Structures are given as C-alpha cells and as structure tokens.
Amino acid sequence: MDKINLEEFRNIDMNPFDGALKLISGKWKMNLLFCLSEFDTMRYGEIKKTLGSITPHVLSVKLKELEANELIERHEYPQVPPKVEYTLTDKGRTLIPILRSICDWGKEYCVDFQDKQE
C-alpha cells in the first residue's frame, strides 16, 4: 500500500567520482603519483627502487597509463646510457592535496598495520 516507487527512490551522480577513479585507481598508480608528489623529479630507476617490489614491466605500463591520462610527463634525455625523468603535470599536481590527505589518514588510522601481524 504505502509502497514507494523504488525506481526513483534516490539518485546520485557517480560520474565525476568514477571518472576520477578511472584515472587514479589500480595497483601502483596512486603510489607512483604519491612518489612524484614527494620528489618532483624521478628517474625510472629511482621510482622502481622506491616502490621496491614493482616489476619493470608493470612499472612501465603504469607510467604509460598515467602519461596517457596527462597526469605525469616523460622527459627523455638523448644520452647513453639512457636517462628518463618523470614529473607530475599541472593536472597531476592538482592531485597532491588528495594524495597527502590519504597519507595523513593512513598515519592516523593505519599506523599499527605492520606490528599487528602475529
């Protein structure tokens, strides 16, 4: 009787949210962005070293995706051995506050993660 029309009970536009996620979600992507937000310029090898367990393949795939989405830039120096530097673009830099706040949140709520492994 007092049944409401469930077809339109309430709605939300997830598009901008999904759109953002499409660019920044996926393993390693946010880590890469965070790295570059902390250290303006990094070479391929430095990133790899900093992330530790990422494989070269995955790293280059992710770097390419981020570059395709214009969040990072690739600067190649014509020398041997090769030297390639990565930086955030202006668009990428607008993510810095978000990345920082995620890190801060982690500091507050995920500190004891390591030690809790029994």
Partner DNA sequence: TCCAATACTATCATTTTTGACCCTAGGTAT
Partner DNA sequence: ATACCTAGGGTCAAAAATGATAGTATTGGA
Residue ranges binding its own copies (CB under 8 A): 6, 9-12, 14-25, 27, 30-31, 34-35, 38-39, 45-46, 49-51, 91, 94-95, 97-99, 101-111, 113-114
**DSSP letters of 57-114?**
HHHHHHHHHHHHTTSEEEEEE--SS-EEEEEE-HHHHTTHHHHHHHHHHHHHHSGGGT
Rounded to the nearest whole angstrom, what is the least distance from the CB of residue 74 to DNA in the complex? 6
Q: Rounded to whole angstroms, how far apart are CA atoms 9 and 7? A: 6
Binding residues for DNA (CB under 7 A): 6, 26-28, 43-45, 53-58, 60-64, 74, 76, 80-84
Which is closer to DNA, CB of 82 or CB of 97?
A: 82
**Alpha-carbon dihedral sign for residues 50, 54, 55, 61:** negative
Rounded to the nearest whole angstrom, what is the least distance from the CB of residue 35 to DNA in the complex? 14
**Amino acid residing at 6:** L
Rounded to the nearest whole angstrom, what is the least distance from the CB of residue 7 to its own copies in the complex? 9
Q: Pick from 36, 46, 53, 48: which is nearest to 87 by CA?
A: 36
Which is closer to its own copies, CB of 16 or CB of 78?
A: 16
Which is closer to DNA, CB of 81 or CB of 108?
A: 81
